[in-house]
Structure 1
Amino acid sequence: MFTRIALFMLTNLAVLALASVVMSLLNVNPASMAGLLVVAALFGFGGSIISLLMSKWMAKRATGAMVIETPRNEAEQWLVQTVRRQAEAAGIGMPEVAVYDAPEINAFATGASRNNALVAVSTGLLRQMNRDEAEAVLGHEVSHVANGDMITMALLQGVLNTFVIVLARVIGGVIDSYLSGNREGNSRGIAYYVIVFALEMVLGLFATMIAMWFSRRREFRADHGGATLAGRQKMIAALERLQANHAASTLPSQVEAFGIAGGVGEGLKKLFLSHPPLEQRIAALRATQARAATVA
């Protein structure tokens, strides 16, 4: 967690420095809202969109996932056939199907669009789950693709990044003007950049909380989608298997939010988790199952 915070701070420092250089080159007054919004949107959405477009390539590189071009055995053939059937049922293009080497039970989906996606499963999943459970996990990941979750997350992150950049500079400008005796214009002292950097850290943390809250809501929808594609009891069984064999995820940060398994945490750490607790996800499916039985 400390490593992530350090990387987050360094990334924000780099963005702050680069945005400041660009605004100086373009003669953009940080107090000018129109110019600030344009630059903020450029930086806010730019990184998110580039990451989205490169998501499949980065996921393959980061995990070492091998795409199944031609199935080499019965297990790979079953994987491809199952994903194809579920993709047709969900109304999306056939995703690439891949396997990556990892001991834990996990899988992820990523891609720039509903018709250009990747679904990958770990070798640990293939070893430790039966076919019904694995089918439900694949349904969960195909549902992420069908729901457009990768695109939605990228757009949400772009909006949040933009607001962080804008608010940090607006509030920073007000504070700096007050401390410097209402100095105006493009001239800014080192205190302004220190204030803006500190504000970006604080606002960035709040933005991350919002993004992770949305990510947790999205997991419930993907579980429901997996239950629709594979069967509710299979989805419940898959989550129970994850609960019984829970291990720390080895997925890289680029795709961790789109894995079937999530982290655990207490206190404030819960606000930064991309997945809700497994017991909550299982309870939600059981509640839906009970409501359906009552209606029937």
Structure 2
Amino acid sequence: MKRIALFLLTNIAVVLVLGVVCSLLGVDRYLTANGLNLTSLLIFSAVMGMGGSFISLAMSKWMAKRSTGAEVITQPRNSAEMWLLQTVERQARAAGIGMPEVAIYDSPEPNAFATGMNKNNALVAVSTGLLRAMKQEEVEAVLGHEIGHVANGDMVTLTLIQGVVNTFVIFLSRVIAYAVDQFLRRGDSRDSGPGVAYMLVSLVMQVVLGIGASMIVAAFSRYREFRADAAGAQFAGRRKMIAALQRLQSFKDSPSQLPKEMTAFGIREGMMGLFSSHPPLEKRIAALEQAQG
């Protein structure tokens, strides 16, 4: 509930900051004089930017199950499923969160993810490939990593950041587009409303600014992976967490098979660079070894 309140307060704060900045720079007067209502644009940007992210978060568990085919373990069918439930329950208790749903999805790729809008009602899922490729103690560390994501509220925090940058992208792309459109149509008194240039520039700027926004979100996502690794080390043991990451190194050149919307919540990602949601495995291992030292 606190994080939902934070979500709403952040939404309001973003709108207020944009409004104050535009007022100080005189942008509001310019836009209003040329037929664009700043208040309406701010509300539209916040609703579309924050609202879209919030809806995605609210549907995250349902989308994860549908997109991966994950089957929630309700009645354990074998000792492996029983061990998974018991391990997650123990780690969740240690983290002070509610028991998440535990699921298995069919994929040859060794991976796992956690999602959900509430840390007391989350979902932790592991792939069949992970269970085959890793020793039990390494799977335990991976589960601790995912429980760390849930306990840290990473899904909600990432949604907040995504919503904030989305709001800025929508707002700035339209302000820039309107300014360009008015400049190109100066001297034309027949119609003061937006023209074709407004729509084209708005689309282009939304793509350009969206690329920059994606880098910001990815940078935060990489940072939270180190925290989740530390949680995995806390709940399962540092050597187990390091061993799990080392095991994943043999798969580091293969792209993640998780759906795009789930990649940031997985234990690994094949893509590297400014748009990667995960730091290189070498850096994650080095961070754990340094902390141990």
Given the two structures, how large is their TM-score scaled by the length of structure 1?
Answer: 0.84
Structure 1 residue aligned with 2:126: 121
Q: Which runs of 5+ in 2 are unaligned?
A: 1-33
Q: CA deviation at 1:245?
A: 3.4
When residues 200 and 121 of structure 1 are mapped into structure 2, their CA distance, relative to the original with a 3 A threshold, is same
Residue 14 of structure 1: aligned partner: none
Change (3 A) 1:92 1:167: same
Aligned-residue sequence identity (percent) comes to 60
Compute the displacement of 1:157 (Å). Answer: 0.8
Mean CA deviation greater in 180-189 or 113-122: 180-189
| TM-fit CA distance, 1:253 | 1.2
Query: Which digits, 9 at most, give the CA deviation of each residue in 1:147-169, with x for residues without a partner?
Result: 00110111111111110010011
The answer on whether the counterparts of 1:30 and 1:36 sit within 8 Å (CA) in structure 2 is no
Deviations 1:106-129 (A, max 9, x none): 000000110110000000111111
Output the CA distance in 2 between the equivalents of 1:142 and 1:30.
51
Question: Is the contact between residue 177 and residue 197 of structure 2 (CA under 8 Å) also seen in structure 1?
Answer: no
Q: Deviations over 1:238-261 (max 9, x none)?
A: 000000233321100121101001
In 1, Cα distance between the equivalents of 2:91 and 2:187? 62
C-alpha distance 186-44 of structure 1, shift in aligned 2 (>3 A): farther
2:89 corresponds to 1:84: yes
CA RMSD, 1 decimal: 1.5
- Contact kept, 8 Å, 1:30 with 1:169, in 2: the verdict is no
Detail structure 1 runs of 4+ shifted over 6 Å in the superposition. Answer: 182-185
Residue number in structure 2 paired with 1:142: 147
2:210 is the alignment partner of 1:204: yes
| Partner of residue 285 from structure 2, selected from 263, 282, 289 | 282
Matched residue, 1:63 = 68
Which residue does 1:213 correspond to in 2? 219
Structure 2 equivalent of residue 33 of structure 1: 38
- The aligned runs of 1:148-187 (5 Å cut-off) are 148-181=153-186, 187=193
Alignment of 1:200-279 (within 5 A): 200-246=206-252, 247-265=254-272, 270-279=273-282
Unaligned runs of 5+ in 1: 1-28, 291-296
Q: 1:98 aligns with which of 100, 103, 112?
A: 103
Instruction: Give the whole-Å Cα distance in 2 for the aligned partners of 1:233 and 1:34.
Output: 54
Match of 1:42 in 2: 47
CA distance in 1 between counterparts of 2:170 and 2:67 reads 29
* Closer, same or farther: CA 260–176 of 1 in aligned 2, 3 Å: same
Q: Which amino acid aligns with 2:164?
A: V
Equivalent-residue separation in structure 1 for 2:192 and 2:64 (angstroms): 42
Partners of 1:219 and 1:275 within 8 A in 2:
yes
User: What is the CA–CA distance in structure 2 between the aligned matches of 1:209 and 1:201, rounded to whole Å?
Assistant: 13
Counterpart in the other structure of 2:8: none
Could you tell me which residue of structure 2 aligns to residue 194 of structure 1?
A: 200
Q: Mark the CA change 1:228 to 1:253 in structure 2 (over 3 Å): closer, same or farther.
A: same
Deviation at 1:207, TM superposition (A): 0.4
Cα displacement string for residues 253-281 of structure 1 (whole angstroms, at most 9, x for unaligned residues) = 1211010011233xxxx111110110010
Distance 1:110 1:252 in 2: 13
Name the CA distance, whole Å, in 1 between partners of 2:285 and 2:37: 50
> Shift of residue 182 of structure 1?
6.6
Whole-Å separation in 1 of the counterparts to 2:187 and 2:137: 67
Once the 2 structures are TM-superposed, how far is the Cα of residue 31 of structure 1 from its aligned partner? 2.9
What SS class does the counterpart of residue 130 from structure 2 fall into?
Answer: helix
* Residues paired across the two proteins, number: 258
